[in-house]
Chain A
């Protein structure tokens, strides 16, 4: 019997520490031929006796998957304390994810808050390797404080690759030389030439998504060209447990990536 709830074992290949409470776990993955993974999709990370948590894929190679996990509660605590160097169980991939084809040939805008950078990490990686396949790539990433900045090494590499990458922190100690301020304040500075050929993705906490979209609309973005990734409580990822439902949609099945115009009328 094909049991969708049976997780498979995956070895931890490497742990990249961004901050005390945020690590990227690089996990072995040999099922790419039968179960290909797209950026924006997620897995249920499963730790026997502690439970399961939906975690987005933050990097994809032929034989590995990255998961960038924030330590917030019982299960993620257990992952940080006892699994560094060991293995996880997991099941997935789930959700629709991002189709890189919809970005090709366009002026791309990605706006992320905190770990919202994870789901689009794979999109950035793709265009970092194929800059000729898009018109331009503009990214605004916000973090709480300088200590919370994720993927520092990637940021440097991406900037060197020629993308317009702005990262900013909500607040910083005196003497901090980087950008300080919310992501919304950098949106008017986006060097966009043709809104008809632009596409934007916003990923982050609900308030950040709301205000970023307001700002995008203000500068003239077409509402049909804005996408976002939703997050809800999820117990299954399979359209069965009901927790992620909004109206007639299931975020785990129909999302988590949605067009703004679809989600706009959502009433939780």
Chain B
């Protein structure tokens, strides 16, 4: 059901949601950006509607809510191991269409690829998604090319309008606050971008043979293997296991999982120094082909959702989308060899 409400009324709804849920949304963090004195937009807990930044694409995504940078899985005690505690409250996440599509990618990895991950599931079960309608796109967005510009499986969707908000609320629990205040009903379709200035085409004939082409070589020199592109990406999910101990005699400690990146040294390293993909170009190839080829071969849908964050964050101005554009030439190069 759709509603049209004033800012004050939506604030009331928001406050009633917060009684049961924590709310996470893009927020401006002042003076903590990439360059000194600049702001960064990233996810944080919001307690007031006014804290939500409706004007930007967040530099980092919502994914830390489901896969924290560092998450305790087990505690070690003298007597054995105990499971870390799960969330006690549900969480509402405000996010854009590309990111809601990214949730489907995370779900695939944690709920379907192999056995269900209980640490992911216990957070996921308590999540409600509020879609932030996009009435325009941002620099470097290519959601239309990746088919992620329109979302329908949200719990609620919000369009910002002059003087108020339009909300389409599907979830009965979230809708209750609108019913309680007798909010005016309206026909609401979430705003969606139907055309981007950037279009990206993944070649239809793309195969892993492209790995042998020379298109990857330029990254050997340009990429500094910092991994920022994977941290910013809403669909990158890799992590490593890490044990810690607290006391000198090592009686107690914990086991954590921490986000990891295929762009960073050590990702493949095993005892004895055996290491795959030493060169940055090889890592770029591994990442890019996962995003537009390998993931789809396994799951049936593309991994990249076209959010454009990786391009925006790279300190070396390396562009993922340019790289995808080069795949066609790469395929020509390797098929010419056969």
Contact = CB atoms under 8 A, between A and B. Distances in A.
Interface of A: 1-7, 9, 48-52, 72-73, 76, 89, 206, 231-233, 235-236, 238-243, 245, 247-250, 252-253, 265, 267-268
B73 A5 contact: yes
Contacts of A249: 298
Interface in B239-290: 239-245, 250, 253, 255, 257, 260, 262, 267-272, 274, 276-277, 282, 286, 289-290
Contacts, number: 116
Instruction: Tell me what chain A mostly uses at the interface: helix, strand, loop, or mixed.
Output: loop
Nearest to B242: A51
A4 B83 CA distance: 11
A5 B276 CA distance: 26
A7 B116 contact: no
Given A72-B271, A247-B297, A248-B297, A236 B116 contact: no
A235 B241 contact: yes
Contacts of B83: 1, 3, 6
A232 B276 CA distance: 9
Contacts of A240: 109-110, 113-114, 117, 237, 239
Closest 8 CB pairs of A and B: A239-B114, A242-B238, A248-B297, A72-B271, A268-B276, A48-B76, A239-B113, A49-B245
A247 B208 contact: yes
B321 to A, nearest CB: 22
Interface residues of B, number: 52
A233 B109 CA distance: 18
B295 interface: yes
A5 B119 contact: yes
Nearest to B271: A72
A233 B238 contact: no
B163 interface: no
Given A3-B83, A239-B113, A49 B298 contact: no
Nearest to B289: A247
Given A233-B269, A248-B297, A241 B73 contact: no
B259 to A, nearest CB: 10
Given A49-B243, A73-B271, A9 B80 contact: yes
Interface string B61-86: 00000000000011010001101000
A242 B262 contact: yes
Interface of B: 73-74, 76, 80-81, 83, 109-110, 113-119, 121-122, 208, 211-212, 237-245, 250, 253, 255, 257, 260, 262, 267-272, 274, 276-277, 282, 286, 289-290, 294-295, 297-298
Contacts of A233: 267-270
B151 to A, nearest CB: 25
Contacts of B295: 248
Nearest to A235: B241
A19 B267 CA distance: 30
Given A6-B83, A7-B81, A240-B109, A245 B290 contact: yes
B268 A232 contact: yes
7 contacts: A5-B119, A49-B250, A51-B242, A235-B260, A242-B237, A243-B267, A250-B113
A267 B208 contact: yes
Contacts of B255: 5, 48, 51
A241 B253 contact: no
Contacts of A9: 80
Nearest to A2: B118
Contact of A243 (B76, B118, B240): B240
A48 B295 CA distance: 33
A10 to B, nearest CB: 13
Contacts of B238: 241-243
A235 B240 contact: yes
Contacts of B121: 1
Contacts of A243: 238, 240, 260, 267-268
Contacts of B253: 48-49
B334 to A, nearest CB: 12
Contacts of B211: 267
A6 B122 CA distance: 15
A235 B242 CA distance: 9
A238 B81 CA distance: 20
A81 B75 CA distance: 23
Contact of A253 (B114, B117, B271): B114
B268 A49 contact: no
A8 to B, nearest CB: 10
B236 to A, nearest CB: 8
B322 to A, nearest CB: 22
Contact of A247 (B115, B117, B272, B294): B294
B288 to A, nearest CB: 13
Given A5-B255, A242-B239, 19 more contacts: A1-B83, A1-B118, A2-B116, A3-B83, A4-B115, A5-B118, A48-B76, A52-B241, A232-B270, A233-B269, A238-B115, A239-B115, A240-B109, A240-B237, A242-B238, A247-B289, A250-B114, A252-B114, A253-B114
Contact of B260 (A206, A231, A242, A265): A242
Contacts of B208: 247, 265, 267
